[in-house]
Structures are given as structure tokens and as C-alpha cells.
Amino acid sequence: MKIKNYINGQFSPPISDEWIDNYCPANGEVYGQIPNSSTKDVEEAYKAAKEAFPAWSNTTLEKRNRILIKISELLEDNLQDFAEAESKDNGKPISLAKAVDIPRAASNFRFFGNAITQFASESHESIGQNAINYTLRQPIGVVGCISPWNLPLYLFTWKIAPAIAAGNCVVAKPSEVTPITAYLLGEICKAAGLPNGVLNIVHGLGTTTGQAIVEHPDIKAISFTGGTATGAYIAKVAAPMFKKLSLELGGKNPNIIFADCDYQDMLETTVRSSFSNQGQICLCGSRIFVEASIYDKFKADFVQKVKGLKVGHPSEATTNIGALVSKPHLEKVMQYIDIAKEEDGIVLCGGKRVTVTDYENGYYLEPTIIEIQNDQCSVNQEEIFGPVVTIMPFKTEDEVLEMANKVKYGLSATLWTNNLKRTMNMSNQLQAGIIWINTWMLRDLRTPFGGVKASGVGREGGFEALRFFTEAKNVCIKY
Ligand code: TXE
């Protein structure tokens, strides 16, 4: 399969005619090629977006709404094909892509298609000064969206949908590791009647194609999700051009379990929050802290449950854990297991590569639990982004709060307790953008989403995303 860029409503090869191999994580084989796009391709995409902007930014909200809803419906109609493509490209179980990734991509278009019709601007009467102020929310122009490989279409559309709903035109780049569903989205957008040039999709490497988007002087805003180091680099490149930035970066999220929680619910959710999508979600609760009085029981129950998870080919209905996204990523995750042992960590289960019959070269790894002795060890501090979690006991609320916050990241935190006072106290003090109490990854698209510290800058979700993708202009009239 040779995929193409989607520029000005046309599918086109890269100008250089250079291509990159695309691997299937489930069997380790090359199954397609993607454009190795250069600055020239990005320039073509920018020109198409710039040309489309005057008409699109003047398109009525009702019409924008209709087109976005249509995209959402077409995604739902093609659920099976999209789920299979996502799974083949990323290694995740098809069942997960079908239940979460693709429905969520459809919801992104439906939600922001509706949200833009409800996005009100402010007005303020300056009493005693005979003046009235009103604030316009104007689209920025051409914006850049760069997304990662872990939730490919889910995160790609999480950016594109609010950007175009708000009247911008987009130059977007999916991860070079998982380009297929973004490619298929081009066809859907065309069929839904999205005018040519409103969405342009350019495929290629981060350091060439992605960087060309960030360096483009007239792409005025960048919404990026990916690694913390890349986010820092993008901020440095974008700063002299005063671009608007929204950076959703890594996480190393605490999952804090108190003895007074609803145990069974906590146990089942903790298995999910640890290993969903092979642990490759920025929100995964990869640092598990358990109150000492239930630590031994939890350890035994958790290990038993995790040993029961089936690692297998993503297309099999019984598979719980599919393949990791790429060989280099598998190797990186496995290195952390060695580091853990060097740092006196005890591997309670997992830790080894899995050979799946008929797919011996796939990137499979056992779900791994490491009991650590010290919360400052590398496996408890650095983002591993794979099916690897740490566990350790704690005695007091103050002690666990300190350990939870003593990390460079601050994306999310989960707390299991039925004590209201503790819930309020800890929610206030945990350093994270998203706190879940007695649940995990329950997402309401109206709520702000984003992190603090090395987990990023800015918020997306709901009106926060529409605020990011617009400029506020205040008009003051004296009468
Ligand atoms: O991400 P990159 P990678 C974390 C996770 C993972 C690590 C590295 O820990 O192991 O990041 O993953 C594009 N200018 N997360 O290497 O490189 C790139 O092409 C512009 C957390 O895959 O940050 C891709 O489209 N763009 C995370 C996107 O950025 C650049 C999800 C992300 O790639 C670029 C994924 C550049 N200089 C990884 N360099 C999360 N927050 O969910 C790369 N890109």
C-alpha cells in the first residue's frame, strides 16, 4: 500500500518521490510506504490552506456544523475498515480500535461541529463611561496539527475537528509510524463536502516534515501531542515567531490506592489503567502506590489478574494485549526492565518478549509489574510508555502525596478512596491537569484536557480548544 499526501483535495505523491517503509507491528513486516515529504510539500499544503481560508472562515456555522457531522457519520459507517486499518498500523487489538479509537474520532467531529454553534463571545458594558465592549473570536488562519502514534486517529481528529470548526484551515501531520487512518480520513472529508484546502495532510518524518510545519513563518499556531523532548524543541523553534502553542506531552501518572476504596472496581480498573493499549497512553497510571494495610493482598490479586491477560495477535477476539508500536519502541521499553533490575526492582510478573505463533517477528511483550524499593528510581520517574508499571506501599496521606508529586510530569492522577475529606485535600494538592477519583479515563469532551510541568502547556477540550484555535479581539465603542 502506497499512501499519498492529501493537499487541496487531491491525493499526491511527495514532490521528491522519496518514500518511507511502514511496518506492521503484529508481524514485523513492511506492508506499505508513506511519503517522505519535504519543506516543498509543506509549502504546497500551506498555499492550499491559505487560499481556502477566506471562504472557509466566512462559511456559516450551520454549514460547518453540517459538514463536521457528516464526517462523523461517515466514520461511523466505515467503523470496521478504520478499526482494522488502525490495528494493523499500530498493533492495538481491533476490538479496542473498534470500541474506543474510531468512535472517539467520530465523536470529535460531532462534538466540535456542535460546540462551535454554542461558542459565545463576551460583552461588557462600561457603566458610567458610556461605552460597550464586545469580544470577537476570530479564526487564526492556517494552523498546524502534529499528532503521535499511540491513539492515531483519536488524537489527529482531536486537533483537526476544533481547528476547522473554528474556521481555520489546517496543515496536519500524523505520526510517520501510524499514517494509514489519517490517509483514509482524507477520502471521508472529501465525501463529506469539506472544501478543498481546508484540511491538508502531509506525511513524513518529524525532523523534516513536522519541523517544516513548525518552522513555517505563516503557520500561526501549532497543536502538538507527543514526547516531552520534542515538545520542548518545538517551543524553542516557535518562540521567535510568537506562535500560539498547545503542547500535550508525556505523563508518569500516579494511581493512589487507599484501603477504604471499592476494592473490586479498583482492581479491575487498575488492570485497564495499567495495560490498556499496551500501556501506550499518556494517561496510563504507571506508578501504583498502595496503602500498606492492603498492599500484600493487592499485590497478589493484581499479579494474578495480570498473568491472566492474553498477549496475542491484534485481530483475535480473545487478545487483551496486542503488539507494541515499533521495534525501536519495544527495545526501549525492554531496556527499562533491565534498568529496573539494576536498581533493585523485583519483577513480579512479565518482563519478557512474547513469541506469538505464526507472528514470530511481531513486537509483543508480557505485561510487567515491578515492585520498587525507592520512588526516585528511573522506572518510577521516566516515561516508559509500554506495558510496565511499578508498585510500592505507603503509610500516610502526606507521604504518598509527596511521592506522587515528586516527578517531572503532571498530566493526570487517579485516587481510590471513599473518604471525602481526603478526596478534596488530595485533589487540591496533586500536581496534575486531570484528576480521577474512583475511575480512570472517563472523558467528557466538554472538560479541559492537558498537563502541568513537563506534561505540557495549554488546555484542549470543549471551549478551551475553540479558544486556542481563535484569537480574541476586543472592540470598545463609546456612545
Ligand atoms: O514521539 P515524538 P515518539 C512519548 C513516549 C514515547 C516518546 C517518543 O514516551 O516513547 O514520547 O515517542 C513529530 N518537529 N510519547 O518518538 O517524536 C512526529 O513525527 C515537529 C507521549 O514517537 O514526539 C510525530 O508526528 N514534529 C505521547 C509527533 O511529533 C516532530 C504520545 C510525535 O513524535 C518533530 C507519543 C520535530 N522536531 C509519544 N519530531 C503522548 N503525550 O501521548 C517529531 N515530530
What's the confidence (pLDDT) of residue 279? 98
Ligand 1 and 37: CB distance under 6 A: no
Residue 175 CA: nearest ligand 1 atom is: 25
Q: Which atom of ligand 1 is nearest to the CA of 149?
A: 35
Ligand 1: nearest atom to the Cα of 174: 25
Distance 231 CA to ligand 1 centre (A): 8
Verify whether ligand 1 is closer than 6 Å to residue 210 (CB atom). Answer: yes
CB 13 less than 6 A from any atom of ligand 1: no
Q: Which CATH class is domain 254-437?
A: alpha beta
Active-site positions read 248, 282
Tell me which residue has its CA closest to atom 37 in ligand 1.
207
Which CATH number describes the domain made up of 5-249+453-478?
A: 3.40.605.10
* pLDDT of amino acid 1: 87
Q: Give the residue, out of 39, 146, 388, with the most ligand 1 atoms within 8 A of its beta carbon, to mutate for a pocket test.
A: 146
Cα dihedral 416, 422, 427, 432 sign: negative
Residue with cell 469580544: 135
The C-alpha cell 513537563 sits at: 454
What does the pLDDT look like over 426-441, one tens digit per residue? 999 999 999 999 999 9
The reply to whether ligand 1 has any atom less than 6 angstroms from the CB of 31 is: no
CB 417 within 8 A of CB 427: no
- Nearest CA owner, ligand 1 atom 35: 226
Q: Which of 168, 263, 171, 161 is nearest to 209 (CA)?
A: 171
List, in sequence order, every residue forming a beta bridge with 368; answer none if it has no partner: 388
What local confidence, expressed as pLDDT, does residue 383 receive?
A: 98
Nearest CA to ligand 1 atom 33: 226
- Contacts from 262-271 at CB under 8 Å and sequence distance 24+? 262/416, 262/418, 262/438, 263/294, 265/438, 266/416, 266/438, 267/298, 267/301, 267/302, 267/305, 268/305, 269/439, 269/440, 270/302, 270/440, 271/302, 271/305, 271/306, 271/309
**Ligand 1 atom at minimum distance from 282 CA:** 42
Domain spans in the chain, listed from the N-terminal domain onward? 5-249+453-478, 254-437
User: Is 206 near ligand 1, meaning CB less than 6 Å away?
Assistant: yes
Nearest CA residue ID for atom 44, ligand 1: 206
- Say if ligand 1 is within 6 A of residue 175 CB: yes
Q: How far is the CA of 230 from the centre of ligand 1 (A)?
A: 6
CA 249 to chain CA centroid, Å, is 8
Query: Rounded to an integer, what distance in angstroms lies between the CA atom of residue 437 and that of residue 417?
Result: 7
Max CA pair span of the chain: 79
Q: Is the CB of 151 under 6 A from ligand 1?
A: no
Which amino acid type is present at position 380? N
385 HSE (CA, 13 A, CB side):
21
* Under-70 pLDDT residues of the chain: none
Residue 110's pLDDT is 98
Q: Is the CB of 146 under 6 A from ligand 1?
A: yes
Distance (Å) from CA 312 to ligand 1 centroid: 26
pTM of the model: 0.98
447 lines ligand 1 (CB under 6 A): no
Helix (H) or strand (E) holding 370: strand 368-371
Do residues 173 and 213 make contact, with C-beta atoms less than 8 angstroms apart? yes
Partner residues linked to 349 by β-bridges:
369
User: Best substitution site from 145, 219, 223, 230 to test ligand 1's pocket, by max atoms within 8 Å of Cβ?
Assistant: 230
